[in-house]
Structure 1
Amino acid sequence: MSPLMRSAIVLGLLSAVGPFAIDMFLPALPAIAADLGASVATTQGTITFYFIAFGLTQLIYGPWSDQVGRKLPLYVGLGLFLIASLCATLAPTIDMLILARVGQGLGAASLMVVTRAIIRDEYTGYEATKLMGLIMLVFSVSPMFAPLSGAALITVTGWRGIFAAMAVAALVAMLVTAVWQAETLPKEHRVPVHLKTMGRGIRTLMRDPVFMGLTFVGGFGMAAFFIFIASAAFVYVETFGLTPTQFSLAFTVNAMGFIGASQAAAPLMQKHGALTIILLGVGGFAASMYVLMALALMGLASFPVILAGLIAGFGFMGLVIPTTMVAALDPHGDIAGLASSLGGTLQMVAGGVMVAASGPFFDGTPTPMIGAMTVCSLITLGLLLAILPRARRIMSAG
């Protein structure tokens, strides 16, 4: 097995824990709302606050991993996730469940930001994008099988068994980290955490319009997917009458476009350049969502139409996410941990805010969900066009 493939498997499994915590319990959202006597908007808080906690905490894990190395933050994050999963299993009210979900987000954040930094420790450019695509292939198991396993668990254990399974996943991830993940940041390359140094690094990153632009291009692309995650169970189950298992299958089909495109990102980037692929992905994503929104307004948003439109939209997004991640980090290798954490924080908070902002408009029908996703796609297009001239100069010089 090549070192690149081994890294993809290990980092993919670690990266999958966070998405697993989202995807596995999606079929249970209507059951959770009914069992705990919560409204749809309140139940969506189990996703919104997870994203916000997940995003904000990345700003801590990144600099910390620059100081102490990559493995200790992984262990701490997994420990927090494990404890929070057990609390969610026993949660007596929706408020306690949301609090436990916040704890899960606080822990899972380490896995996302530290794995990105590990990639930047060892690879750049084409190889980094290829590894990012391979990682996405590994954790694509989450949207493909996590909802199905969640639906199966609901029939046997109820929704609480899903969170118990997440605790088991955290234990497995700890073993994977201990046995197969080497430390990739040597002591001589570690940077002490000083607020002044951290502030200087953050200012450098936030004054870089290309870093910020690419970060939010990816961020609002992911925000569209977050809106789908928060709303799809209610739309598919309550509007179209799907069972939890049928919803899980539909969710898997929707994810297939993203999974396939993410694997094509690296070879396409090598052949055509990162910026060309980002332009193709963002333009296709915006066009797909615009067409789907037009069909919804005409009353033509049937289940097959939504399924097909989202496959196309998420497919184009699969080109955008890994490529923007690598392109944003490439010029900032000396502060890769901080850059990764700041980028992740901004992206996840943007996603959480968009979910919260779209919540009041949700009425159980597909149109508000599609409309909010269309807004996200148009924001990504506007941001990319705004930074395009500067991005072309920087990437061509690199």
Structure 2
Amino acid sequence: MSTRTEERPDTRTREELNSARPSKARYALILGGLTAFGPLSVDMYLPALPLMATDLDTIDSTLQLTLTAFVIGLALGQLVAGPLSDSLGRRRPLIVGVSVYVIASVLCAISPSVELLIAARALQAVGAAAGLVVARATVRDLFSGTEMTRFFSMLMLVTGLAPILAPLIGGQVLTVTSWRGIFLVLTGFGALLLIVAMVFLPEPLDVSRRSPVRIGSVLRAYLALLRERAFLGYALASGFLFAAMFAYISGSSFVLQGVYGLSPQQYSLAFGLGGVGIVVVGQVNGRIVGRFSERQLLATGLLLAMTSALGITAAAAFELSLAALLTPLLLMVSSIGLVMPNSTSLALANHPRNAGSASALLGVLQFLIGGLTAPLVGLGGQETALPMGILMASFAALALLSFATLARPTTR
């Protein structure tokens, strides 16, 4: 009797999934939009950073704290949103979070000083955190196994477009208005996604599968996840690679525009090539994930990232041409399409009952490590790409080391 009772929620979930299959594209668009909060909010104003430094009368390293504040806020916000989504369902924390994001985006647009902009960016990140947590947890609610990995790869088709479109949109907005207009565009995106989620996104977490929020139980759940070697290995692998990616995000506008002389529009196009790579590699990953295991594909992505980062460092050290720098940069960014779907799927695979908390901790490790990267890039100076390359290579090496030492397959 007990076995049959335990199987009922799983059977009900499969039935819900089967009925949702005709609208899988709808789920991909909505959940992809939620996961795009991060790259859109970071990448769209990158072409404006040099102009913002002049307008706000500040230095580059101080302005880069707006990136750090956003990433750290994104990390801490997920710690709260994750357990709440396990207890209250996915929709309510999502709606509150996206509403906060919209309000904070308006505050960013009207900030008169860099200090107020940093504070508004932190609040904006807290709101965006709910979207990231709910998107990953919803995928875990609906899918499992290889099908979950395929759907995360499908999300890369949507989220991979964000790095392409964000700097392009930001560069074009700068042709008609100031950097403040970029944050007004983000306000409109958040408002649109809020309406779409309220109307078209059903609640994926059944009431019987929810758990009450108690501070003690939440802390114990997080500690248990941190003690799990496999989860920690996959989370740190993706987190360190995200830090390598963030070193590029925070330093590329100064390197490519300041050192190599690209205009904001040219920089947007160069930056967007990385998004194309993420999309292409992510879709290839979704097609071959049955023929090769998630671990094999994850290892391949980490090795690609490591070798590409070494190429970036060499190109910067020997002051090679722009093409010699952009080629390994493109390969480095493209490796995200292999690493993120597989590491996320492997990390969440054994946590169907607390997918929100596991998703939150996964995001925290990614964004907290990444948030510490921006000031390091700024301290290295803006006259050369070498500090950016060294940081990218160092974090890629740490990602590979975490996977090799912690995320080892268990023997039965």
Q: TM-score normalised by the shorter chain: which range applies?
A: over 0.9
Aligned residue type for 1:241: G
CA distance in 1, matches of 2:52, 2:374: 19
- Can you give the 5+ residue segments of structure 2 that lack an aligned partner in the other structure? 1-20
**Cα distance, 1:126–1:4 mapped onto 2, change above 3 Å:** farther
The offset of 1:299, in angstroms, is 2.7
Corresponding residue of 1:334: 353
Corresponding residue of 2:373: 354
Q: Is the 8 A contact 1:63 1:338 kept in 2?
A: yes
Corresponding residue of 1:144: 164
Q: Is the 8 A contact 2:74 2:128 kept in 1?
A: yes
CA distance in 2, matches of 1:152, 1:361: 29
Matched residue of 2:353: which SS? Answer: helix
The offset of 1:341, in angstroms, is 0.4
CA distance in 2, matches of 1:254, 1:327: 24
Q: Is the 8 A contact 1:258 1:311 kept in 2?
A: no
Q: Is the 8 A contact 1:221 1:321 kept in 2?
A: no
Q: Could you give the per-residue CA deviations for residues 250-303 of structure 1, whole angstroms, max 9, x where no partner exists?
A: 000122222211122233221110111111111121111113312322232x21
CA distance in 1, matches of 2:108, 2:397: 36
CA distance in 2, matches of 1:2, 1:23: 33
Corresponding residue of 1:380: 399
Matches within 5 A, 1:194-213: 194-213=214-233
The offset of 1:230, in angstroms, is 0.7
CA distance in 2, matches of 1:233, 1:296: 15
Aligned residue type for 2:131: L
Q: Could you give the per-residue CA deviations for residues 196-244 of structure 1, whole angstroms, max 9, x where no partner exists?
A: 2112211210110110111010011111111111111111111111111
Q: Is the 8 A contact 1:17 1:169 kept in 2?
A: no
Q: Could you give the per-residue CA deviations for residues 40-99 of structure 1, whole angstroms, max 9, x where no partner exists?
A: 101111111100010111010000001100011111111111111111111101111111
CA distance in 2, matches of 1:276, 1:14: 28
Does residue 392 of the first structure (1) align with residue 409 of the second (2)?
A: yes
Corresponding residue of 2:300: 280
Corresponding residue of 2:50: 30
Q: Using the TM superposition, name which of 132-141 and 176-185 deviates more.
A: 132-141
Count of aligned pairs: 392
Q: Could you give the per-residue CA deviations for residues 113-159 of structure 1, whole angstroms, max 9, x where no partner exists?
A: 11100000010121111111111211222111111111111121211
Corresponding residue of 1:45: 65
Q: Is the 8 A contact 1:126 1:266 kept in 2?
A: no
CA distance in 2, matches of 1:202, 1:14: 23
Matched residue of 2:410: which SS? Answer: helix
CA distance in 2, matches of 1:51, 1:184: 27
Q: Is the 8 A contact 2:162 2:275 kept in 1?
A: no
Corresponding residue of 1:115: 135
Aligned residue type for 2:121: R
Corresponding residue of 1:265: 285
The offset of 1:316, in angstroms, is 2.2
- TM-score, length-normalised on structure 2? 0.92
Identical aligned residues as a percent: 34
Corresponding residue of 2:101: 81
Does residue 19 of the first structure (1) align with residue 75 of the second (2)?
A: no
- Can you give the 5+ residue segments of structure 1 that lack an aligned partner in the other structure? none
- TM-score, length-normalised on structure 1? 0.95
Matched residue of 1:88: which SS? Answer: helix
CA distance in 2, matches of 1:228, 1:318: 16
Corresponding residue of 1:241: 261
Does residue 228 of the first structure (1) align with residue 241 of the second (2)?
A: no
The offset of 1:371, in angstroms, is 1.0
The offset of 1:335, in angstroms, is 1.0
CA distance in 2, matches of 1:175, 1:153: 24
Q: Could you give the per-residue CA deviations for residues 160-183 of structure 1, whole angstroms, max 9, x where no partner exists?
A: 111111111111011110111010
Corresponding residue of 1:97: 117
Q: What is the aligned counterpart of 1:106 among 126, 130, 133?
A: 126
CA distance in 2, matches of 1:20, 1:42: 21
